[in-house]
């Protein structure tokens, strides 16, 4: 498992003397002689072409929001009245403050849900990858063993939560 896909083959500091001779603290704050750390000496992070799709998605997301708000402001009809101006136009009227305390059991239940939510999300890429491995090969066995271990931990967590009485409402 390596992440070293973008090694740029740049010969760092090839013109420099081989040993550093500067003062102890010097290396941190001041780079001696011609040794400059410029952007092109740092291998991976400054290669901004990789980030172009990300930038596009950000632009699309922001644009979608802005366009919708502006368009509905420009195009939509504007009528007002008591019912129209209420918080939930077609819902019930709000009663009391929103800062009420909830029973802590909701949170425990939500966390138990999260365990399985994440498990399902994780199973998808696993299943896609698993079909690519040769049936019965050692890699496939190992791959299968890993997911069994993972499922085992979540099932254990579920049994534990059940026995602990998380799902009991009394």
Partner 1 sequence: MLDRLWFLIPEFILLAGAMVCAIGGISTFAPIRKRVGFIASIFLVIALFSVPYVYGQTDYTHPETMLPGLGKYIKMMAAFVGLLLVATSGGLIDRGYERAIGAGKDRFDPLRANSGEFHALLLLSLTGVMLICEARDLIWLFLALELVSLPTYVMVAISRWSKTAQEAAMKYFFLGALSAALMLYGFALLYVSTGTLVLQEITEAFSAQQNNGGLLVIAQVGMLLAIFGLLYKIAAAPMHLYAPDVYQGAASAVTAFLAFVPKTAGMIAIILLLSTVGWEDGLPPAIEMALWVVAVLTMILGNIGALLQRSVKRMLGYSSIAHSGYMLIGVIAGPELGLPAVLVYLFIYGITNTAAFATLASLSRGGKRVDSLEDIAGLYTTSPLAAASMSVASGSLLGIPPLFGFWGKLLLFAAGIAAGQISLIIVAAVSSAISAWYYLRLIGLSLLSNPHNHGERTKVTLRWPLAVAVVGACISIAGPLVLEGVMVDAKEAITLPESELAMSLPSLEVDDERE
* Nearer of residues 107 and 160 to partner 1, judged by Cβ: 160
Per CB under 8 A, 20 contacts partner 1? yes
Complete DSSP assignment for 74-132: HHS-----TTTTSSSTTSPPP-S-S-PPPPHHHHHHHHHHHHHHHHHHHHHHHHHHHTT
Q: Is 43 exposed, middle or buried (0-12, 13-18, 19+ CB in 10 A)?
A: middle
Per CB under 8 A, 148 contacts partner 1? no
Select from 120, 114, 115 the least CA-distant residue to 153.
Answer: 115
Task: Count interface residues toward partner 1 (CB under 8 A).
Answer: 36
Per CB under 8 A, 18 contacts partner 1? yes
In this chain, which of 40, 44, 70, 137 binds partner 1, going by CB under 8 A?
A: 44
Distances, alpha carbon 103 to alpha carbons 25, 72, 108, 164, in Å = 56, 39, 10, 17
Stretch in the footprint of partner 1 (CB under 8 A) among 21-29, 48-56, 65-73, 109-117: 21-29
Q: What are the structure tokens assigned to 170, written together?
A: 């009394």
Residues 109-138, one symbol each (x = binds partner 1 by CB under 8 A, - = not), give ------------------------------
Residues that bind partner 1 (CB under 8 A): 1-4, 6-7, 12-14, 16-20, 23-28, 31, 35, 37, 41-45, 142, 156, 159-160, 163-166
């Amino acid at each position: 498992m390596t992440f070293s896909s973008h090694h740029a083959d740049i010969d760092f500091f090839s013109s420099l003397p081989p040993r550093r001779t500067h003062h102890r603290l010097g290396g941190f704050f001041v780079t001696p002689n011609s040794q400059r750390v410029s952007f092109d000496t740092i291998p991976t992070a400054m290669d901004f072409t990789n980030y172009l799709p990300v930038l596009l998605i950000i632009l699309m997301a922001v644009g979608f929001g802005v366009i919708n708000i502006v368009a509905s402001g420009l195009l939509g009809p504007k009528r007002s009245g008591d019912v129209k101006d209420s918080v939930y136009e077609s819902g019930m009227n709000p009663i009391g403050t929103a800062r009420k305390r909830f029973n802590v059991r909701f949170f425990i239940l939500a966390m138990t849900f999260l365990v399985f939510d994440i498990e399902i999300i994780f199973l998808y890429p696993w299943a896609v990858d698993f079909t690519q491995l040769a049936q019965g090969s050692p890699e496939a066995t190992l791959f299968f063993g890993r997911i069994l271990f993972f499922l085992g931990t979540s099932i254990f967590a579920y049994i534990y939560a059940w026995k602990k009485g998380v799902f009991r409402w009394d």
